[in-house]
Amino acid sequence: MAPLTPKVLLDGIVFPEGPRWHKGKLWFSDIHAEKVMTVDEQGHAEVVVTVPERPSGLGWLPDGRLLIVSMRNRQLLRLDSDGLHTVADVSALVKGLSNDMVVDAQGRAYIGSTGYDIFAGEAQAPGNVIMVTPDGKARVVADNLEFPNGPVITPDHKTFIVAETFGHRLAAFDIAPDGSLSGRRVFAELGQGTPDGICLDAEGAVWVSSPLTHEFLRVKQGGAVAERVTLSDGKLAIACMLGGEDRRTLFLLIAETSVEELLKDRSKGYIETVRVDVPGAGLP
């Protein structure tokens, strides 16, 4: 198989995360620039809203309003026509920082918390997943996860998959009608891989960003790697999303930085694209 060679779509950003394909554009959080942004397939970028406490995961309610995770104050925000409003303050439930998110078709937001503040030098500790209903009720639905990241929901709305960055694996759960998660199992072990953002394709494989091994991997259930995009050593593979009109464009969110540099908000961010054979699936 010929190697996949990406091309730069957008540069001049800081630390892109939480990508979602929505209404013909890639939406993402430039966390350390404190902005939610969009970019189209021609590279035209726009700022949607500024989030002073650093935005992360994104998703939409059934009525089309945008939900945003606010990391440092541990809140779920909603963007209305008159600005940002707090849906839920989840600080009492969060372990570490609130982080990535996926929103299901009913508007239930699943938010991962890191377990500890990696930027403050805290000791590593397990995180959790919090579910917030559209009316703001929040509860923990999964616990003891090793730095949960990049959650996705399968097209049949029955399975929740989450990256455990420092567990070097993807975990899967069954989704109950009330949104509860159960039946935890390993979807894929990733060896030295450190999964961050992930996305699903139509064959049930998962594209995985692995920052510390500088690569994006297409992983099948069980852990077999079907495809790989390798970056130079200075670039971190942060997150990915399948989008475009046919959902065969793989958007690669990349940063050149380190934990120490991010403490000073120093990072060079990029979004690159590559065409793939299998389109995206599930909630974008």
In a domain, 4, yes or no: no
Please give the chain's pLDDT, 284 residues, in tens. Answer: 566 789 999 999 999 999 999 999 999 999 999 999 999 999 999 999 999 999 999 999 999 999 999 999 999 999 999 999 999 999 999 989 999 999 999 999 999 999 998 777 788 899 999 999 999 999 999 999 999 999 999 999 999 999 999 999 999 999 999 999 999 999 999 999 999 999 999 999 999 999 999 999 999 999 999 999 999 878 999 999 999 999 999 999 999 998 788 878 889 999 999 999 999 998 77
Average predicted confidence (pLDDT) for the chain = 95
| Identity of the residue numbered 258 | S
Rg (CA), the chain: 17
Spatial contact of 95 and 116, defined as CB atoms under 8 Å apart:
yes
- The number of domains in the chain is 1
In a domain, 284, yes or no: no
Coil/strand/helix, residue 185: strand
In a domain, 5, yes or no: no
Q: Can you give the CATH number for the domain in which 105 is found?
A: 2.120.10.30
In a domain, 8, yes or no: no
In a domain, 88, yes or no: yes
Helices (H), the chain: 259-262
Spatial contact of 273 and 249, defined as CB atoms under 8 Å apart:
yes
Give, in degrees to the nearest 5, the angle at Cα 209 between 203 and 212: 145
In a domain, 261, yes or no: yes
In a domain, 71, yes or no: yes
In a domain, 280, yes or no: no
- List residues bridging with 28 in a β-sheet: 37
First to last CA, the chain: 27
Q: Distance between CA 158 and CA 175 in Å, rounded?
A: 5
Q: Distance between CA 17 and CA 265 in Å, rounded?
A: 14
Q: What's the domain range around 236?
A: 13-275
Q: Which two tokens stand for residue 62?
A: 């059934």
Digit-coded pLDDT (tens) for 105-124: 999 999 999 999 877 778 88
